[in-house]
Amino acid sequence: MRKPSWKQRLAKNIKDLAGETKMREVMKSCEGLTSQKGKARWTKKAMEKLDQLVSSKTKRCEIMAKSSCVFSQRRIVVLRAKYKKLKDIDRLLEHMHKDPYYAKPQRKGKTIYITKVPYDPKKFQRAKTKREKRLSYCHCSYVRATRGKISPTFCYCGSGWYKKIWEGILEKPVMVVVLKSILQGDDCCRFAIRI
């Protein structure tokens, strides 16, 4: 069975958390988009509509976090087993540092900090403009080509990625906060995971 697409996950989560009427309004005109620019324009408008229609920032963030890309369950199972064996979060982080996929998370107290690695590190290093940096940094094909700023609400989609990882490892709820976002003009995307 095929996994639901990002648009399908977004529609379901808006419907579940804000109702069908708001879901239909946000998702209007999303079908048949094939170009990166078309997807980017639609996503920017969809986030504006979501901000207008769902007044609760907490609910908007929850919608986006639940809509994030699906993290490999196999990797989560491996990390959970490693954590149970090591019985120490810092030793797990040391283990994770061996694999660049995990972006070298760092812990301070009860918070783990992660700076996302660029989607295309070589192009990011060569980038001269903010647009070039955005195109090479953001992992989301829906917003990579967005011109201008997009609502900060969108960046909670990225937070959902880390939420799924750490809740899977620790088997308890965690809170993820977006500290920096390339889409908001920052030099990177940085998240704080409160464990």
Map residue 111 onto helix, strand or coil.
strand
Q: Which long-range contacts link 112-115 to residues 24+ away (Cβ below 8 Å)?
A: 112/166, 112/192, 112/193, 112/195, 113/179, 113/190, 113/191, 113/192, 113/193, 114/162, 114/190, 114/191, 114/193, 115/180, 115/188, 115/189, 115/190
In this predicted model, what pLDDT tens digit does every residue of 142-194 receive, in sequence order?
A: 777 777 778 999 999 999 999 999 999 999 999 999 999 988 889 899 999 99
pLDDT in the model for residue 34: 82
- Mean pLDDT taken over the chain: 92
Whether the predicted pLDDT of 29 surpasses 70? yes
Residue owning tokens 């990225």: 158
Give the model's pLDDT for residue 130.
Answer: 82
At residue 81, the pLDDT reads: 97
Domain ranges of the chain: 6-66, 73-194
The per-residue pLDDT for range 97-151, each reduced to its tens digit, is 998 888 899 999 999 999 999 999 999 999 998 888 888 898 887 777 777 778 9
